[in-house]
Structures are given as structure tokens and as C-alpha cells.
Structure 1
Amino acid sequence: MSLKKFTMEKIIWTFVMLLLSELCAGQNILPPGPLSGAVADRVVFSTTLTPPASPFLSINWNFKGVNIITSTSSNIIDPGYASRISLDRSTGSLELRNLVLQDGGEYTLTITPDGGLQTQGRIVLNVYTPITGATIRSAAAVLIEEESSTNLTCEASGSVSSREWMKDGHLLQAGHTISFSADNSTVSLHPVFSSSHGTYQCRVSNPVSAQTAVLQLTVSYGPYNVSIIGPSAASSGDRVILHCLAASVPPANFSWMFNGSETHINSSLYVIERFQAQNSGDYSCTAMNTVTMRENSTVLNLRGKEKMFK
């Protein structure tokens, strides 16, 4: 044998042995995983193998020491899996149905090809109970800004992997008055402010399902920014409407005074049907919040317009 021929055969043999060594170790026979499945659902353990020219001599799937299925010229299936599995003999892929939590763990696939070395691969399956019944519970029924505190607790049934909190469509973050429990299930607002008022969302999820719970949190505040919208001057005979506004939750109650005297008008509107000289003066609007028991006032000075003579 020539040296050149011997060297070429040695190179080819080394390449084949390396290839078989990698195959035997199970590299790329199964994807890296893990796989995720839902209780009562199905999952497919797909291999990366292409159907060989000659059928595999044997295929074996093992889970926690139990041979789920051994396939040669016939299939031997463990009784506990008899109605739950299907095997694709051309690739070694396995379908497992009607999943239960106990199906979670590491699975081992061993394949013996026709005329080749035995190959093996491993993959982990995680089984989750789907998320249901997601809700947010508040610890306090009535909240007053700067006086009250509360905890918002996100609850759900199923295998909870993560919780994400949002407020008014934006990610809720910890701060001076906002803190989260270790498992993110509870948000503490201590104390609450007018800015705490709004829509809170908690997205509960795992790899196979997710639900979003919503809570409209009401924080009583105000009244703030009391103002009167209306003219500062009117002509004789004009119909004048004064409108009192205030930032308040719940909506404020209003009362009016004219030149320091009660008017017994208790709405946001003060209407003068026909303005006369005696209607000139100071109109005071007081806004009152019946929950916070706070009030604020503002004054509008209304004067008559001087007549223009030609």
C-alpha cells in the first residue's frame, strides 16, 4: 500500500469515527429544549433526524426509568401510555397526549440504525396548568389621597410563572410610595395619591397560557383647581351663565354666594336670565367633596358694561 493511499484512508477513517462519536453522544438528535405543554393537551417530541434508507433497527423512549415504548419489528408500550402515545418510526418522533403534571421531566431517546452505532438524545418537558380566573383584589374599599394606603393582590389559578403590572397602559414600577412583594403578586401603595387613581392591569402567564386581570382603582381627592367660566362683564338684558368647575373624585358639590350672601343655588351653573345693574358684584363658588370632606372656593367679579352713545 502506498503512503499516499494509506494517509487518505486514515483521514477518511478518522472523519467517520468523529462523525459516529458525535452521533453516539446524541448531539442534535433532539432539539435543546425544554419543551412546554399544557395539562390535558398534547406535545410532540420531534427529532432532527431524516428518515434513513433502511428503517431503524430499534427506537426506545424512556422516562424516569420507564420504557414508554420500545419499537423493533413490533411495538412494546408501557400500559400507562398505551392510549396516549404515537410513534413516527421514520424519524423517532413521539407524540404524547392528555398531559398531566407528572409527565414533566427528562425524556431519553435511544435509536439503533441499521448497520450503525446506537445514538441517544435527551430533552426536558415542562408541563403547566393553564392560567384561569385572574383577578386583582384591593385591600381597601374607600381610599383618600395622602390618608389611605392599600395593597393590590393579583390572584389566579394554574401554574403561575410570572406576573406583570401595568397602570393606564404603562409598566408600573417601584418607587418611593410603590413596592412589590417578592413574587410580584402584590403591589403596595403607601399612601395613595390622586395619581394612584386609574386602571391597573396584572398579566399572569406561563409558557402555555396567559390572562390579564383589570381593576379600576378609585382614589378620592380634591376638589382642586376650582374655577368659574363666564364673562366678567355683561350688558343690561343679557342672559349670563356662570359655570363652576373643579378637579374632584367623587364629583364635587357646588354652592354659590353673591356679595357674601347665600344664594341657595347648589349646582355647577349659576344662571342670570336678564342681567341688571343690581346683578353686578362678586360671585363666589365653593366646591365640596363629601368623601375627603375638603372644600375650595373661587370668586368672579361680574360688572355691567357701560353703554356706548353716538
Structure 2
Amino acid sequence: MVASAVVFLTMGILSGYCAGQDVFPPGPVNGTLGGNVIFKTTINPTTLFAISWTFREPPVSVVDFVSSLGPVIGEGYVGRISLDNSTGSLELRKLTLIDNGPYRVALRTAAVSQVGSTSLIVYETISNVTLRANVIDLMELNDTAIFSCSVSSGSSPFSYRWLNGSSEVTARYGIQLGDGGRTLTIANVTRYDQGPYRCIVSNPVSSKPSQNLTLIISSEGSLSPVLPAGAIIRIVIRVLLVVGGAVGVAVLFIRKNGTNAEPMHRGGSQQPVYENPSSVCENPQQNQSPPLPLTEMQDFKSTYDTRIM
């Protein structure tokens, strides 16, 4: 008896006067496989005397509600739905791929009936994104890198985003995106192209990154990879610090030991010879050689007079 009354009322609503066709915001409604979704109407909370939700064509009853009788839930939806009696909004839980399709609602107040329709698309979340490359050790200005991004599970459509470190990679001269963004080609790689690459794959309900792949780029005639400018600068600074420290130690050693240098004697002569020219002399007179003995002066004068004559 109750079911017959509900069916009769539903037919009356669907065939009666309809006003305010924009019952739903623009669709479709996207849902996640195994998740929940809400078909939210644009109706302000009010007293609704009857609500009828159907699925597909020919219509399959999801739920029928009459204020005096309560809800009647359709087969396959028991335990999966919740109905807002004041707005007509419907929550559908434990989504399956079978739930994909069009949905229709008919609402009746004391004065007016409204009908609206929308559609549901159930997506499988993305998982196991894999990044591959033809080669990762390349020669600068000579080799080409080709990346490909694949997904083991998930519902299309897919969108692809490419990153080198934290910088986004977009198509430009020498860089091409192909197969709907699934592949990345870098022709004649340069040192600026090296770094960790990854792809991020998205669909309307999920997003998943791949693992990183690092390009190593060597310059021509070099067996080692080209270092980034920042790394070269850091190496140079460290070398300069080491050299500067060594020079400082050497200067301190010379200053400390030079002032205590012992005079050296050559050829058995008693005349001192100072071998440390770097000593700091505050009195210029201290650096002058001692006067020659009188006998040596006389010998020198005789030799000089003989050469003149």
C-alpha cells in the first residue's frame, strides 16, 4: 500500500508543473571509487512534501520520500544513501563504477514542483607512477634525453606535469612534450639541464608523483660530470682558504725564526755572513758589514794601485 502510494505520487510529481530548472550547480559531479559523493541542490532549506531520486533511463528508484510516510529506499541503495529532507540533497556512499551515469531529482513544496538532473563520474585514484629515461649519463651538446611517464592504475583523463628539482619544465626551444604530455624530450642537453627530474600525474580526483631520475651531463673531453656554477664557486673558495691559511702559517714561521737566526761563516773566515734577508731591521746601521781589519785594507790598497798603474 505504501509503495503504491509512493509510486503514484512520484508519477504525479514528474508529470506535473515544473519551475526553477536550475536545481543543481553546473556538473558533472566527480567521485572516487570506494568513496562518497554528495549531490547538493541549490534549494534553500524549506519544507518539502515529496522528494524522488532516480538513476539512468529507464529510471531506477534510488529513494522516494513523502513527508507523511517517510523514505522508501531503492534496491541496491540500502545503507548507502542519506537524504536531506529540507533541501533534497543526496549523499551516495561506497561508490562503484556501476554508479556512473545520470541522476534526476523531483522536489515538491506546497506551491511548486521542481525537477533537476546531473551526472556522476566515478574515477579510480592514480597509483604507481613510474618514470623512465633512455639514458641518464649524457655528453653536453651532443646527446638527447627522453623521459616517459606511465601509470599502472587510475582512471583517465590524465594530465602530466614535469619538474627539474623545484622548477617546472615546459615546452620551449630544444624541449618537447609529446603523447599528451606523457613524454619529455630534451635535445642537445647542456649543463643547465642536469638535475633530478620527476613527473606528476593527475586526474579529477587524485594526483601522484613519480620517483626522481637524475641526469648527469659531462662536457666534451672530460670524463667527469660538469659541476654546477655554485659547486665550482664553493670549491674555489675552499682552495683559497686552504692556501691563505698555509701562507699565513709560513709568514708567522719566518718572522718568528728569522729574528733568532745565527750568523754563518764562510770559508773559515771569522767575518759573519747573515743569510736571512727577510729579518725586520729597525736600525739600518745594524745591517752594514763590519769594517775590514787594517792589514786587509792595506792589501786591498796595494792591489788597487797596481791595477791603476
> In 2 relative to 1, CA 99–26 (structure 1 residues): closer, same or farther, beyond 3 Å?
farther
Please give the per-residue CA displacement for 1:80-124, whole angstroms capped at 9, x wherever unaligned.
Answer: 22231121222211110011233233211111223x232101222
Report the alpha carbon displacement of residue 147 of structure 1 after superposing the two structures with TM.
Answer: 3.2
Aligned to 2:295: none
Q: Which residues of structure 2 form unaligned runs of 5+?
A: 1-16, 228-238, 251-276, 285-309
Partner Cα distance (2:182, 2:224) in 1: 31
Q: Which residues of structure 1 form unaligned runs of 5+?
A: 1-22, 225-245, 252-267, 276-305
Report the alpha carbon displacement of residue 127 of structure 1 after superposing the two structures with TM.
Answer: 1.8
> In 2 relative to 1, CA 216–141 (structure 1 residues): closer, same or farther, beyond 3 Å?
closer
**Is residue 2:98 matched to residue 1:102?**
yes
Partner Cα distance (2:149, 2:88) in 1: 43
Structure in which a larger fraction of residues adopt helix: 2
Task: Specify which of 162, 165, 169 is matched with residue 166 of structure 2.
Answer: 169
TM-score by length of 2: 0.61
Partner Cα distance (1:93, 1:140) in 2: 54
**Is residue 2:53 matched to residue 1:61?**
yes
- Secondary structure of the equivalent of 1:44? strand
> In 2 relative to 1, CA 27–247 (structure 1 residues): closer, same or farther, beyond 3 Å?
farther
Aligned to 1:194: 191
Partner Cα distance (1:107, 1:191) in 2: 53
- Alignment-mate amino acid for residue 143 of structure 2: S
* Contact 2:23–2:115 under 8 Å retained in 1: yes
- Secondary structure of the equivalent of 2:98? helix
Report the alpha carbon displacement of residue 42 of structure 1 after superposing the two structures with TM.
Answer: 0.3
Please give the per-residue CA displacement for 1:17-50, whole angstroms capped at 9, x wherever unaligned.
Answer: xxxxxx9244342222322211111011122223
Structure in which a larger fraction of residues adopt strand: 1
> In 2 relative to 1, CA 52–173 (structure 1 residues): closer, same or farther, beyond 3 Å?
closer
TM-score by length of 1: 0.60
Aligned to 2:180: 183
**Is residue 2:241 matched to residue 1:249?**
no
- Secondary structure of the equivalent of 1:51? coil
RMSD after superposition: 3.4
Please give the per-residue CA displacement for 1:115-147, whole angstroms capped at 9, x wherever unaligned.
Answer: x23210122222211121223111225322233
* Contact 1:88–1:94 under 8 Å retained in 2: yes
Structure exhibiting the larger radius of gyration computed from Cα positions:
2
- Secondary structure of the equivalent of 1:211? strand
Q: Report % sequence identity.
A: 33
Report the alpha carbon displacement of residue 223 of structure 1 after superposing the two structures with TM.
Answer: 6.9
Aligned to 2:140: 145
Aligned to 1:6: none
Aligned to 2:6: none
Partner Cα distance (1:29, 1:220) in 2: 59
Q: How many residue pairs were aligned?
A: 218
**Is residue 2:21 matched to residue 1:27?**
yes
